[in-house]
A and B are shown apart, each in its own frame.
Chain A
Amino acid sequence: MAVEILKEKYRSQVREVVLGATKDEGGTRSATIKVGGESTLPFLHFEGEVPNPPVVAMEVWDIFPEEWPQNLKDAFGDALNDPAAWAKKCVEEFGADLIALRFKGADPDVKDASAEDCIAVLKTVLEAVGVPLIVYGCGKLEKDNAIIGPIGEAAEGENLLLGVAEQENYKSVASAAMAYKHSVIAQSPIDINIAKQLNILISEMSTPLLDRIVIDPTIAALGYGIEYSYSIMERARFGALNGDRMLGMPMIGNVGHEVWSKKETFIPVDEEPGWGDQAERSLAWEAVTAIALLQAGMNILVMRHPQAVKLVKQNIDELMQDNSY
Chain B
Amino acid sequence: MIIIGERINGMFRDIAKAIREKDPTAVQEWAKKQEAMGSGYLDINVGPAVSDRVSAMRWLCEVTQEASKLPLCLDSTDYDAIEAGLEVCKQPAMINSVPAVQEKMDRVFQMASKYNAEVIGLAMSEEGIPKDAESRVALAMELVANCDAHGIPISNLYIDPLVLPCNVGQDHGPEVMETLRQIKLLSDPPPKTVVGLSNISLGTKNRELINRIFAVMAMSNGLDAAIADGCDEELIAAVATARIILNMDIYCDSYVDVFKNQNL
Report B-chain residues with C-beta under 8 Å of the C-beta of A207. 264
How many residues of chain B are within 8 Å of chain A by beta carbon? 10
Would you call A251 an interface residue if the criterion is a C-beta within 8 Å of the partner chain's C-beta atoms? no
Q: Which residue of A lies closest to B249 (CB)?
A: A244
Interface string of B232-264 (1 = CB under 8 A from A): 000000000000000001111110011000101
Best-buried of B249, B250, B254 by chain A (most CB within 10 Å):
B250
Q: Dominant SS at the A interface?
A: helix
Report B-chain residues with C-beta under 8 Å of the C-beta of A89. none
Report A-chain residues with C-beta under 8 Å of the C-beta of B250. 192-193, 196, 235-236, 239, 244, 247
Interface string of A232-268 (1 = CB under 8 A from B): 0001100100011111000000000000000000000
Q: Dominant SS at the B interface?
A: loop
Would you call A231 an interface residue if the criterion is a C-beta within 8 Å of the partner chain's C-beta atoms? no
Q: Is the CB of B249 within 8 A of A197?
A: no
Q: How far is the CA of A247 from the CA of B257 in the complex (A)?
A: 14
Report A-chain residues with C-beta under 8 Å of the C-beta of B264. 207
Would you call A200 an interface residue if the criterion is a C-beta within 8 Å of the partner chain's C-beta atoms? yes
Report B-chain residues with C-beta under 8 Å of the C-beta of A196. 250-252, 258
Q: How far is the CA of A194 from the CA of B250 in the complex (A)?
A: 10
Distance of B71 from chain A, by nearest CB (Å): 14
Q: How far is the CA of A115 from the CA of B258 in the complex (A)?
A: 37
Q: How far is the CA of A193 from the CA of B253 in the complex (A)?
A: 8
Distance of A232 from chain B, by nearest CB (Å): 10
Best-buried of A192, A196, A239, A247 by chain B (most CB within 10 Å):
A196
Q: How far is the CA of A194 from the CA of B252 in the complex (A)?
A: 7
Using C-beta atoms within 8 Å of the partner chain, give the interface range for chain A: 10 to 19
Q: Which residue of B lies closest to A195 (CB)?
A: B252
Q: How far is the CA of A236 from the CA of B251 in the complex (A)?
A: 11
Report A-chain residues with C-beta under 8 Å of the C-beta of B252. 193-194, 196-197, 200, 246
Report A-chain residues with C-beta under 8 Å of the C-beta of B258. 196, 200, 246
Report A-chain residues with C-beta under 8 Å of the C-beta of B257. 200
Q: Which residue of A lies closest to B254 (CB)?
A: A200
Distance of B135 from chain A, by nearest CB (Å): 34
Report B-chain residues with C-beta under 8 Å of the C-beta of A197. 252-254
Distance of B216 from chain A, by nearest CB (Å): 20
Q: How far is the CA of A243 from the CA of B257 in the complex (A)?
A: 15
Distance of A136 from chain B, by nearest CB (Å): 25
Q: How far is the CA of A197 from the CA of B253 in the complex (A)?
A: 6
Report B-chain residues with C-beta under 8 Å of the C-beta of A246. 252, 258
Q: How far is the CA of A197 from the CA of B252 in the complex (A)?
A: 5
Q: Is the CB of B262 within 8 A of A193?
A: no
Our pick among A193, A200, A243, A245 for the contact of B251 (Cβ within 8 Å) is A193
Report B-chain residues with C-beta under 8 Å of the C-beta of A200. 252, 254, 257-258
Distance of A249 from chain B, by nearest CB (Å): 13
Distance of B62 from chain A, by nearest CB (Å): 28
Q: Which residue of B lies closest to A167 (CB)?
A: B253
Our pick among A192, A194, A245, A247 for the contact of B262 (Cβ within 8 Å) is A245
Distance of B120 from chain A, by nearest CB (Å): 21
Q: How far is the CA of A246 from the CA of B255 in the complex (A)?
A: 10
Q: How far is the CA of A246 from the CA of B260 in the complex (A)?
A: 13
Distance of B81 from chain A, by nearest CB (Å): 31
Q: Which residue of B lies closest to A191 (CB)?
A: B252
Report A-chain residues with C-beta under 8 Å of the C-beta of B253. 193, 197
Q: Which residue of B lies closest to A246 (CB)?
A: B258
Distance of B110 from chain A, by nearest CB (Å): 26
Q: How far is the CA of A200 from the CA of B254 in the complex (A)?
A: 8
Distance of A298 from chain B, by nearest CB (Å): 19
Report A-chain residues with C-beta under 8 Å of the C-beta of B262. 243, 245
Given A200-B258, A239-B249: 17 more A-B contacts, CB < 8 Å: A192-B250, A193-B252, A194-B252, A196-B250, A196-B252, A196-B258, A197-B252, A197-B253, A197-B254, A200-B252, A200-B254, A200-B257, A235-B250, A239-B250, A246-B252, A246-B258, A247-B250
Q: Which 5 A-B residue pairings sit nearest by Cβ, starting from the closest? A: A196-B252, A197-B252, A200-B254, A239-B250, A193-B252
Would you mind naming 26 contact pairs between A and B with Cβ atoms under 8 Å apart?
A192-B250, A193-B251, A193-B252, A193-B253, A194-B252, A196-B250, A196-B251, A196-B252, A196-B258, A197-B252, A197-B253, A197-B254, A200-B252, A200-B254, A200-B257, A200-B258, A207-B264, A235-B250, A236-B250, A239-B249, A239-B250, A243-B262, A244-B250, A245-B262, A246-B258, A247-B250
Interface on A for B, CB 8 Å cutoff?
192-194, 196-197, 200, 207, 235-236, 239, 243-247
